[in-house]
């Protein structure tokens, strides 16, 4: 099997108000079905070590976790090398129930944003309330970044991660770089 290659080969922008890094491939599984079903909850806990997230929530355990994407959809995040094993576990648990799990890892690009102005950079590009209290670690937002869909969450007060389609990775990287240009702080979110 060939080695996975990131969409932007580890591209990074370190000269702005936020540091932006294209991450190595991350394992991602889309799971659709009845999110309250026990046949999904038990294997998800076994795979990730976390409980089911609340609406618009994300629960992480190191490099794996579960993100709520819609009332019948989750994004399972894991090391890229574990995707096949996790898919097998999920598909065995699903059995004949009405649900599906699909490997979407190679169709996505993941970025990490670091710095005290991450809320401002995201707010410049997405129609989302990124203010403290409305957008905190443990919450995820699915929205648009200018012209493309994306999902993003805060890991901690100065770190966020963002997922987009691999086909628009360069566009998103360029958008983020523009929104993070030196001197572009608006200092709207002061703690």
Q: Is residue 184 part of a domain?
A: no
Does 66 reside within a domain? Answer: yes
Q: Quick one: tokens of 21?
A: 């890094």
pTM: 0.93
Query: Each residue's pLDDT tens digit in the chain (191 positions)?
Result: 457 777 898 999 999 999 999 999 999 999 999 999 999 999 999 999 999 999 999 999 999 999 999 999 999 999 999 999 999 999 999 999 999 999 999 999 999 999 999 999 999 999 999 999 999 999 999 999 999 999 999 999 999 999 999 999 999 999 999 999 999 988 776 55
Same domain, 135 and 95: no
Range of the domain at 63: 27-106
* Cβ 98 vs Cβ 33: under 8 Å: yes
Q: Where are the alpha helices (DSSP H) in 49-111?
A: 83-94
In-domain check, residue 3: no
Task: Assign 3-state DSSP to the chain and report helix, strand, coil percentages, each to 5.
Answer: 25, 35, 40
Residues 36 and 102 in one domain: yes
């Amino acid at each position: 099997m060939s080695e996975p290659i990131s969409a932007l080969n580890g591209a990074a922008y370190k000269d702005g108000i936020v540091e932006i890094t294209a991450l190595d491939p991350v394992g991602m599984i889309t799971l659709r079905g009845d999110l309250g079903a026990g046949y999904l909850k038990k294997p998800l806990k076994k795979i990730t070590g976390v409980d089911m997230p609340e609406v618009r929530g994300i629960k992480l355990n190191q490099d794996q976790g579960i993100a709520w994407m819609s009332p019948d959809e989750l994004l399972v995040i894991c090391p890229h090398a574990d995707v096949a094993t996790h898919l097998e576990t999920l598909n065995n648990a699903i059995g004949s129930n009405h649900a599906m799990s699909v490997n979407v890892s190679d169709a996505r690009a993941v970025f990490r944003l670091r710095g005290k102005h991450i809320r401002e950079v995201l707010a410049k590009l997405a129609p989302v309330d990124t203010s403290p209290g409305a957008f905190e670690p443990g919450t995820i937002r699915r929205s648009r970044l200018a012209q493309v869909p994306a999902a993003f969450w805060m890991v901690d007060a100065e770190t966020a991660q963002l997922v987009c389609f691999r086909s628009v990775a360069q566009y998103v990287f360029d958008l983020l770089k523009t929104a993070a240009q030196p001197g572009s702080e608006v200092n709207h979110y002061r703690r």
